[in-house]
Chains A and B, each alone.
Chain A
């Protein structure tokens, strides 16, 4: 059981370039999330989705876009990369967060550097 898989693990971008971080989960979870983690800081929610076709903004959505065409996949797109987007990005998934344990299952992270 792979859980949550993120690709790529590492990427260096030039300012103004675009890229997509891929995330897929095989647990049939409806809820998926993208967080960013800056050094010495907590996890900031970028976007989340409660099911296929539904997405919503988190705490820090500016500069990012997401889509959710299937239950399994939740890609995060950076359109015009800026140095402020240098961070470690985590994708996560869960069952309904208000039911049961509400546990988020995280991927191993994608380290992005914008130069």
Chain B
């Protein structure tokens, strides 16, 4: 089955700096890659996603890149702010009928004021 590995497990950056979180997946049939943000005591919320027919997608300060050949994708946050502090999860979904969204182990991001 699908396996998603996520690095780093923790990341501390100064406010205004950029943050990059990387994920690799094992199943070449995966074709949908979302990123979720989880704030303390809450459920995860989708922040950006990308499908396998696209190499990069941006939404204001957040961008995701996908390299299908290498089977890895990354989340980039620019001009980080304290409210970006949270746990971030990547995930991968197979395009077949299984519809199992498999998550990485999460990255705890701390943005220091």
Interface residues on B, range: 20 to 34
Partner of B32, one of A33, A59, A90, A97: A97
Distance between A67 CB and nearest chain B CB, rounded to angstroms:
18
A106 near B106 with CB under 8 A, answer no
Query: Could you tell me if A107 and B43 are in contact, using CB atoms closer than 8 angstroms?
Result: yes
- Determine if A103 and B49 form an interchain contact, defined as CB atoms under 8 angstroms apart: yes
Which residues on A sit within 8 Å (CB–CB) of B31?
A: 98
Residues of B within 8 A of A58 (CB): 100
C-beta contact mask, A73-115 vs B, less than 8 Å → 1, else 0? Answer: 0000000000000000010100001100111101111000000
- B: residues with CB less than 8 A from A are 1, 4, 6, 9, 31-32, 34, 36, 41-46, 49, 89, 93, 95, 98-106
**A contact set with B: CB distance below 8 Å:** 4, 31, 33, 35, 40-45, 48, 50, 56, 58-59, 90, 92, 97-98, 101-104, 106-109
